[in-house]
């Protein structure tokens, strides 16, 4: 069974894109076949993975808004073995308005994924926009599992309330949605503040596990500029090792199901 997992947090800069890319790379390293879907109009994941966004014929925008476009039409290979992508495009910013006139506008992504043959993939990993909008709702309705990348910072906890309210509201549309847990990112290990926040997170959400933490490191930013993953760019770095731990953690969880 293909597992459909989104990295979602409506707050920007929580390393959703970096995590989607590097967890995909970690799973691919383990021999898993991964499809990534970029649902952020900023197309950061698409660019980071090496897609020539300016010259795309079709993108995730067409997939969402044109009923005749199937996922097979928009999948592109990447330079990382084992990873394909449905790239994004700045046009996606207009989808918010255009979807207003579409019947079942919250279910467009779900319909496209359900009608597709995803058998070639073990995982579909979705990168999300930093917003709680129609695109985000489409993501939350379409996925099986949600990973919440979170920076250990006081403001990070505040946005979680709205996120969980939204998840509760859409539970009618996606009753099986499973929140996998929090992925602490950009964690400064010697920072008291960061450690306190992680403790608070565990206290406030005792039922939700913390995934292996990703340390704060310039390697994350550097690899994006190199248009590849940290696992390729700096395979021995602590960030690469941490993302490998996250890949293993997710795989273990699959064995439990
Ligand atoms: N482990 C890390 N340490 C330091 N900087 C990071 C790390 N991971 C990501 N970054 C940087 O943080 C910024 C936000 O990351 P990004 O993945 O784009 O977040 P989001 O997609 O949630 O907006 C980027 O500049 C990225 O290079
Ligand atoms: Mg992003």
The answer to whether residue 225 sits within a structural domain is yes
- What residue owns the CA closest to ligand 1's atom 11? 221
Q: How many whole angstroms from 15 Cα to the centroid of ligand 1?
A: 4
Per-residue pLDDT band at 227 (split at 50, 70, 90): confident
- Given a cut of 90, whether residue 82 has pLDDT beyond it is yes
> Which of 41, 213, 221 should be mutated for ligand 1, with most atoms under 8 A from CB?
221
The answer to whether residue 256 sits within a structural domain is no
Q: For residue 170, which of 179, 158, 183 has the smallest C-alpha distance?
A: 179
The answer to whether residue 91 sits within a structural domain is yes
The answer to whether residue 254 sits within a structural domain is no
Q: Which helix (H) or strand (E) holds 10?
A: none
Task: Report the alpha-carbon distance of residue 181 to residue 207 in Å, rounded.
Answer: 9
DSSP string across 165-201? HHHHHGGGT-TT-EEEEEEE-SB-TT-HHHHHHHHHH
> Which of 8, 10, 15, 244 should be mutated for ligand 1, with most atoms under 8 A from CB?
15
Average pLDDT in the chain: 94
- Given a cut of 70, whether residue 8 has pLDDT beyond it is yes
The answer to whether residue 255 sits within a structural domain is no
- Given a cut of 70, whether residue 255 has pLDDT beyond it is no
Task: Report the alpha-carbon distance of residue 210 to residue 202 in Å, rounded.
Answer: 8
Question: What is the tens place of the pLDDT at every residue in 172-218?
Answer: 999 999 999 999 999 998 899 999 999 999 999 999 999 999 999 98
Q: Residue 209, Cβ neighbours under 10 Å: how many? A: 13
Question: What is the tens place of the pLDDT at every residue in 12-31?
Answer: 999 999 999 999 999 999 99
pTM score of the predicted model: 0.96
- Give the CATH number of the domain where residue 142 resides: 3.40.50.300
The answer to whether residue 123 sits within a structural domain is yes
pLDDT above 70 as % of the chain:
99
> b/e for 215-232, b at 16 or more Cβ within 10 A?
bbbebbeebbeeebbbbb
The answer to whether residue 90 sits within a structural domain is yes
Confidence (pLDDT) at 218: 87
- Number of compact structural domains in the chain: 1
Domain that holds residue 82: 3-248
**What is the arithmetic mean of pLDDT over 217-229?**
80
The answer to whether residue 257 sits within a structural domain is no
**Token couple for 66:** 């044109």
Per-residue pLDDT band at 256 (split at 50, 70, 90): low
Ligand 1 pocket, residues with Cβ under 6 angstroms: 12-18, 44, 130, 185-186, 214, 216-217, 220-221, 224, 239
How far CA 22 is from CA of 19, 178, 251, in Å, comes to 5, 21, 15
Question: What is the tens place of the pLDDT at every residue in 87-104?
Answer: 999 999 999 899 988 999
Nearest ligand 1 atom to the CA of 18 is: 17
- Given a cut of 90, whether residue 153 has pLDDT beyond it is no
Residues in the chain: 257
**What is the arithmetic mean of pLDDT over 243-252?**
97
């Amino acid at each position: 069974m293909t597992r459909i997992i989104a990295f979602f947090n409506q707050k920007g800069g929580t390393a959703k894109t970096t995590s989607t890319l590097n967890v995909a790379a970690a799973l691919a390293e383990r021999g898993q076949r991964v499809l990534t879907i970029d649902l952020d109009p900023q197309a950061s994941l698409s660019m980071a993975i090496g897609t020539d966004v300016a010259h795309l014929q079709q993108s995730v925008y067409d997939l969402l808004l044109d009923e005749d476009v199937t996922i097979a039409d928009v999948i592109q290979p990447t330079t990382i073995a084992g990873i394909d992508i449905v790239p994004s495009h700045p046009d996606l910013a207009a989808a918010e308005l255009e979807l207003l006139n579409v019947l079942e506008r919250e279910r467009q992504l779900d319909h496209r994924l359900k009608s597709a043959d995803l058998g070639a993939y073990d995982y579909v990993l979705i990168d999300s926009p930093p917003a709680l909008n129609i695109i985000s709702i489409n993501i939350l309705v379409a996925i099986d599992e949600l990973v919440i990348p979170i920076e250990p910072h006081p403001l990070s906890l505040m946005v979680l309330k709205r996120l969980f309210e939204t998840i509760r509201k859409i539970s009618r549309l996606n009753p099986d949605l499973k929140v996998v847990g929090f992925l602490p990112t950009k964690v400064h290990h010697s920072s008291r503040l960061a450690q306190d926040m992680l403790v608070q997170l565990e206290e406030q959400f005792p039922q939700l596990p913390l995934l292996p933490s990703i340390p704060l490191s310039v390697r994350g930013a550097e690899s994006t500029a190199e248009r590849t993953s940290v696992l390729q760019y700096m395979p021995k770095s602590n960030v690469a090792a941490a993302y490998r731990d996250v890949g293993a953690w997710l795989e273990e969880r699959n064995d439990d199901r």
